[in-house]
Amino acid sequence: MYIVLDSGVLGMISNPHPERPQTIACNQWFEQMVLAGHTVCLPEIIDYEQRRIFEHGNWKESIERLDSLKKDLMYLPINTEVMLTAAKFWAEARKNDSDAPKKPKNQRLDIDVILAAQAKVNIKYAGSVIIATSNVRDLAPFAVAREWQNIAIK
């Protein structure tokens, strides 16, 4: 199984000092997924989304952890095919919700459609692909997405 990380999950995994129960649980889940032999993927758009927060906060340990994950996980780059697919996803979503351009979450949709496009384009010939997230609703129209804690270790 290919597990594509969303930003909330990556934020917890890249925390060098997890103290909150949910962050600890997410880190344990992540380790179990890797040990079970699943391919965990780090999309470039999600690296960007988390990295900008870490850079702004000057959180050096989180940046180092993110750099380490980038080396150890399957990295999904942004390329032309990804962006063309994301544009189609975005346009479909706008057609289905005529009020969407006025909504403040419109910017968030850009990252969601790029993430979904990265999963589709970069792993299109693979078997099972699931986006591990903490917000299934925004990704479900474009890709298979599950709350990270609901992705079973097999």
Q: Indicate if the pLDDT at residue 139 is higher than 90.
A: no
Read off the pTM: 0.87
CA dihedral 110, 111, 113, 115 (to 10 degrees): 160
Tens-place pLDDT, residues 6-62: 999 999 999 888 889 999 999 999 999 999 999 999 999 999 999 999 999 999 999
Give pLDDT, residue 146: 94
Tens-place pLDDT, residues 64-104: 999 999 999 999 999 999 999 999 998 888 887 654 545 55
Look over the chain and give the mean of its residue pLDDT values, rounded to a whole number: 88
Q: Indicate if the pLDDT at residue 109 is higher than 90.
A: no
Give the span between the Cα atoms of 140 and 114, in whole angstroms: 13
Give pLDDT, residue 141: 86
Domains and their CATH numbers in the chain = 2-150 (3.40.50.1010)
Give pLDDT, residue 125: 57
Give the span between the Cα atoms of 74 and 90, in whole angstroms: 25
Name the residue with tokens 């474009």.
142
> Would you place residue 107 in the very low, low, confident or very high pLDDT band (cuts 50, 70, 90)?
low
